[in-house]
Structure 1
Amino acid sequence: MSVRELEVALGARRYPIWIGPGLLGDAARWRARMRGRHALVVTNATVAPLYLERVRAGLAGLAHDALVLPDGESFKTLDSCARVFDALAALGATRDACVLALGGGVIGDLAGFAAACWMRGIDFVQMPTTLLAMVDSSVGGKTAVNLPAGKNLVGAFHQPRAVVADTDTLATLPAREYRAGLAEVAKIGALGDAAFFAWLEAHADALAGRASDALIEAIAHACARKAGVVARDETEQGERALLNFGHTFGHALEAELGYGTLLHGEAVAIGMLLAARLSARLGLAGTADAERLRALLTRLGLPVDAPPGAGADALLARMALDKKNEAGRLRLILWRGIGRAEIAAGVDAGAVRAVLEEQGAGRRA
């Protein structure tokens, strides 16, 4: 199967996204994007036994090392970032060094943020090994770590030199992790591409079953759509904020329930449906499209209801810290139906609370 190649164009800055099988072993392709003599592979304890040696073999001739971190969202912290800095220091990494982020979104965000900080910014290459990272976090240069107060509160915009999405890695992805990635695929259709949403409805069973052709097509379409948005709004001053559809609710659920209770994609799935229902409550959209979204997410094996254990008031307090808010007022991504997301400023907190309570977010376990 051939490799699909896309490009993210940010003025004079450009970098490729490669999608297809066997890419981690195709060192000639990605080594050409590395400019220095030092390389650090940052990965986790789950991914390392599967793919680390393949990447290290491709680094022959460079001064390189690897840092293996514990797996999980709870380790996406400043402490883990400090471990990356220590590893770079031990390697003697200078400004021409490159960090390779081998893993899912946690590793990509964390390693990218460390690369943004080391000597005020060095190169990094994204090597996503989860579906969610391939279609979302690896593209666009958002890097960050979490704080106890909330998700991704400390970060930087730092674009990678390349994105190497080896679809062979998805064969070892646990079913729950795979399904979580499908949430971000569905999000692309829901927020701005009604035709793609309909394609997803037609191919939902194939995607749920990991059919290779449908999967590569979905990844390529999602990446192309995101690349276009990032090219027009790199630092999220306008349109790029739409990519956060479902995320304000989702991030609040993740933080309140404890990182790892819900996978990020699961939280986004629930968050998208909450945003759709809030849109209906505010008179922006009807309920039929929200039900279409619920049906698609269900077919893809994703949760659609808020779990017990997070009260509506606690979630609202988390949402108040969201980076999109302005002057202390809630600023959410809502929609006027499938494919028509928009930024809604000054959203009434009472309406948000009502939707949360309707969907069971006020229950206790």
Structure 2
Amino acid sequence: MRTFNFSAGPAGLPLSVLESAQAELLDWQGLGTSVMEISHRDPRVIAVFESAQRQIRELLAVPDDYAVIFAQGGASAMFDLIPQNLSPASVHVLNTGAWSEKAIKGAQRHAAVTVTGAAPYVDVPALSPVSGVDYLHYCHNETIHGVRVADIGTHQVPVVCDASSSIFSEAIDWSRHDLVYAGAQKNLGPSGVCLVIAKRSLLNADAALAPVFNFAKLDAEGSMVNTPPVFAVYLIEKVLAWITQRGGVSAMKAAAQRRSTSLYAAIDQSDFYSNPVAPAARSWMNVPFLLANPDLDAEFVRQSEAQGLMFLKGHRSVGGMRASLYNALPDAAVPALIQFMQHFEATRA
């Protein structure tokens, strides 16, 4: 029986995508082998990569002068690889939570860094128009603290965005973004791939990097400088088709707003549960919440899992609970969670 997966990542994948991959696992395209077992130089594998890149461009309306790259190492690697590829002398970071902190540490290894924002992470700090640095970095959606940047504003420098936990849940304004990256394992596919969409004019082919980490060279080679994570991209291509079939990014946005709005309403109407984030800054993807009595946290997790509501325990740095509401979450999941929360409150308050 499939349970409701509220994991912050790696997250659940659409059931139809898993079933399609299952059916093809032993025999892909009549070859009598899986897609994992043949060369990435095979024309059929190359076609999968090209299809995935084409669908990304269509779903996100990516301009032609931006590269679409499947990079290895995940989003954490990007905290160092982006400054190494862009070769900045100075960077400004909008700090809205734990992943912003990691980006700050990564950038500090390669450039002078200035910061707007600090803990506690319960709102988006006011950000004046940024100038005088080589780029501005921000995290669109903080998975741990549940803070979402609704509008980054307009700046006089290139803008780099970590969209790992919100990619394909809403449109991207490319007039305000020069590089967007996202670990795949939340809204896009399994772990092992980081999607990088970058304005080609920013990329430095001569950066002192191994070719497998050089964005310009990855772009030139169709993300195949070395053997790429073929199975991960194969699944991503299927997820992209699933998003398209369900109405594209606009449909994903509507679903995200519907799910998060109903869950926040249940929390706000209760004296037993609470969410510390300012309403205008609340994430649509990751909803952290606290129980009035933290001694009940372990019992809440135990009982929720018995009801098929999985992986609700909050991050160790903030405690409490966290419900991640990524694109693949079935429509019935949030109503089931709310019903359980109300029952738990009625029996424990």
How high is the TM-score relative to the length of structure 1?
0.39
With CA pairs under 8 Å and 6+ residues apart, which has the higher RCO, 1 or 2?
Answer: 2
Give the number of the structure whose alpha-carbon radius of gyration is greater: 2
How high is the TM-score relative to the length of structure 2?
0.40
Q: Which has the higher helix share?
A: 1
